[in-house]
Amino acid sequence: MIPMSAMKNTVTGQVLRFVFLVSLVSSAAAIVACGEDEGGGKPASSASDKGGLVGNPAPEFAVKALVGSSKGNVSLKSLRGKVVLVDFWGTFCEPCKKSFPKLQDLNTKYGTSGLQIVGISEDEADDKDKIPGFADTYGAKFALGWDEDKSIARAYKPETMPSSFIIDRKGIVRFTHVGYHDGEEVEVEKEIQELLKQ
């Protein structure tokens, strides 16, 4: 690699700086873009979450479920004793279209064993009515609520959509997953199995 100081005053140096900056900006844009990893790479965040929630009590919330068998209000407090996966998503989120079928598979497989999935929509008011249709299209039968005032997102601070927080039976955040990554559902399933055994 050529040091930046050697690139300062030459035409080649200016071209190299430009290429470097363009690739830096492109990389940053890819990381920020709605949490998808097309290459199926490792999750951006898991048990060693840098967001500060892992190992701490999950922030309490209550939300009106617009979709799912739990229609009415769903609160984290009412789910104590279950393993809870809280997923932040939006109808605008392309990776969420891929993650929802995976979440529904987990819901089907472990729902009767003590897993509760709650999807928290971060859609704007104009898009709230799209939530039931999104659920139908992508097969979600788990509880989906709308974070009307964004208070739940302020408490959890999801980095992107989708972002998932896996909470144990005692209400402690044990794992987080930021973005969608092909194949990550295997890791998520192992984490859920581990917590269901406790």
User: How do residues 86-132 score in pLDDT, each as one tens digit?
Assistant: 999 999 999 999 999 999 999 999 999 999 999 999 999 999 999 99
To the nearest whole number, what is the mean pLDDT of the chain?
Answer: 82
Query: Which has the closest alpha carbon to 144: 87, 65, 75, 91?
Result: 65
CB count within 10 Å of CB 140 equals 25
Local confidence band at 67 (pLDDT 50, 70, 90 cut-offs): confident
Token pair 């809870």 in the structure block, residue: 84
Q: Which H or E run includes 104?
A: helix 94-110
φ, ψ of residue 26 to 5 degrees: the values are -65, -40
**Cα separation, 145 vs 161, whole angstroms:** 15
Q: Which amino acid is at 185?
A: E
pTM of the model: 0.77
Local confidence band at 51 (pLDDT 50, 70, 90 cut-offs): low
Q: pLDDT tens-digit profile of 89-99? A: 999 999 999 99
- Domains of the chain with CATH codes: 4-32 (no CATH), 62-196 (3.40.30.10)
CB count within 10 Å of CB 110 equals 19
Helices (DSSP H) in 33-137: which residue ranges?
Answer: 94-110, 131-137
Local confidence band at 68 (pLDDT 50, 70, 90 cut-offs): confident
